Structure 1
Amino acid sequence: MTTGLLIVVLVAIFIGAIAQRIAGLGFALLISPFLVIILGSHGGVIMVNICGLVSSLLIMSRVWRDVDWSMYRWLAVPAVIASVPASAAAVFLPAAPLAVTVGAVVLVALSISLLLQRTSVVLTGNVPKAVAGFASGITNAMAGVGGPAVSVYALLARWPQRPFAATLQPFFVTTAAVTLTSKLFLDPGQMPPFEAWAWALVALMIVAGIYAGEKLQRFIRDDQARLAVIVIAFIGAAAALVKGLIDL
């Protein structure tokens, strides 16, 4: 990888970590399409899973007391069940269709989220939680994007932002760990070919992004953060979708 491309990857990771700290999600939405273009479909999704695991693990220690553990269990168990077969499918799916899948999943999920923001429907009960977790497990394994499914549920269930953002961190840690273990067990060669110093820079960008997000959080409203994430994610997803269609 050239120095220029590495800088682009590091900047994307830094911005994604800021979004993750401010809004509770957005890391994968922001960086998944861009990393798929730069690192390829398989390497890009693996990179998203690794960075998502690390960033959520770091943030989790900061929001621990706001985590709704009952909600976590209803989301995480179905997500784990879905993640294993979906991870296997992602390993053996050709690169171009996977790139199209990444772009399409993000675009559809963002569109649904926007459309549902003004709905009067309110979800209740445990079945919608399980469905959201199951869907999130599939999309995380296939496209590195697990947030949209639970975001749609949060909108329809009127889940308050603070416990929602906090609960997603252990949820993302769980799904990323299962997905990474499954994929690397089936094909260890999917790990992005970074040198040790490059991985150190990636970790530094995640920490710096979380720190910057904490400082910026007091100046940015939740709706402003979500809007910025949506705009950038739409651009990246469209680019990944176009690239995948060209390569088919």
Structure 2
Amino acid sequence: MLVVCGVGIAVAVGAALQRISGMGVGLIAAPVLSLLLGPVDGVLLVNLLAVINAATNTWGMRADVDWRKFAPIAAALLAGVLPGAWVVAHAPTNILLVTVGALLLLALSVVTLGKRYVPRVQGVVPAAVSGVVGGFMNTLAGVAGPAITVYAEAARWPQRVYAATLQPIFLVAGTLSFTVKHFTGAADVSAIEAELWVATLAALAVGIALGKRLAPRVPATTAHTIALGLAFAGGATTLARGLLA
């Protein structure tokens, strides 16, 4: 019962924050679900929840989605998902988690703390690179947002466009990560208990409703600060999980 309650709270908080700032479900729920359900089943459930949440948010935030920014990132996701699925199935992930987490924290520090010294990034190649890294991280740890945030900061995306455009990216990333892991045998959805499905879906609905209600009342600058805080937390969590492993 405590496990179900813990998972439900994490999912609800993550879904609310995602509607407000652009991301949250993977960053808040993935560490909790991985701890309670194991790194494979936990991340698999996060991938599925991310698909449902992102589909809902994409529709609700569609007016602010920049599809030109979305396209190159989404197209590159599969190039990161495939090696991520191989790693989940065959390789020890602790060293990769440490490496990815450390690089994310370094990159985020550069594009935020040293933003004035970083030239504006443009073009398809940097966007595609963020998609590859995001796809790999989403498959490995259930968090694509920090990698995309590094690019979005360097490209100077406005907060409203950033928060909205992340949603279809998460939709594609979650779908690819789940599909590839399922059909390659890297994870088994039947291992997730029915009561967890009920709890997480109910919590997701509550979080989406709460976030939808709060989002118009949160200033863009505050939402941007929350998003960056979550991105740093995602990098730190990834690093910590690798070190603890």
State TM-score, norm by structure 2: 0.85
Partner residue in 1 for 2:182:
184
Q: Please, which of 124, 130, 133 is the counterpart of residue 132 of structure 1? A: 130
| 1:16 Cα offset (Å) | 0.4
Q: Distance in 2 between matches of 1:96 and 1:33?
A: 14
Per-residue CA deviations over 1:92-133 (Å, capped at 9, x if unaligned) read: 234655765786576556545543555442112222111111
The 5 A counterparts of 1:24-173 are: 24-94=22-92, 107=105, 111=109, 114-173=112-171
Partner residue in 1 for 2:192:
194
Q: CA RMSD in A?
A: 2.8
User: Measured at CA, do residues 178 and 235 of structure 1 come closer, stay the same or move farther in structure 2, by a change above 3 Å?
Assistant: closer
Q: Distance in 2 between matches of 1:108 and 1:192?
A: 38
Partner residue in 1 for 2:203:
205
Q: Distance in 2 between matches of 1:229 and 1:125?
A: 23
Q: Which amino acid aligns with 1:45?
A: V
| 1:230 Cα offset (Å) | 5.5
Q: Distance in 2 between matches of 1:100 and 1:122?
A: 28
Q: Distance in 2 between matches of 1:192 and 1:29?
A: 24
Q: Distance in 2 between matches of 1:99 and 1:38?
A: 18
Q: Distance in 1 between matches of 2:162 and 2:237?
A: 29
| Contact 2:36–2:42 under 8 Å retained in 1 | yes
Per-residue CA deviations over 1:67-96 (Å, capped at 9, x if unaligned) read: 222221111111122212222222223465
| Contact 1:79–1:133 under 8 Å retained in 2 | yes
Runs of 5+ unmatched residues, structure 1: none
Per-residue CA deviations over 1:195-233 (Å, capped at 9, x if unaligned) read: 334312211111211110111113322343454466577
Runs of 5+ unmatched residues, structure 2: none
| 1:166 Cα offset (Å) | 1.7
Greater shift after overlay, 194-203 or 38-47? 194-203
User: Measured at CA, do residues 233 and 60 of structure 1 come closer, stay the same or move farther in structure 2, by a change above 3 Å?
Assistant: closer
| 1:183 Cα offset (Å) | 0.5
Q: Distance in 1 between matches of 2:222 and 2:171?
A: 26
Greater shift after overlay, 110-119 or 40-49? 110-119
Q: Which amino acid aligns with 1:158?
A: R
Identity across matched positions, percent: 35
| 1:21 Cα offset (Å) | 0.5
Q: Which amino acid aligns with 1:131?
A: V
Q: Distance in 2 between matches of 1:13 and 1:170?
A: 19
| Contact 1:105–1:139 under 8 Å retained in 2 | no
Q: Distance in 2 between matches of 1:159 and 1:36?
A: 31
SS of alignment partner, residue 217 of structure 2 = coil
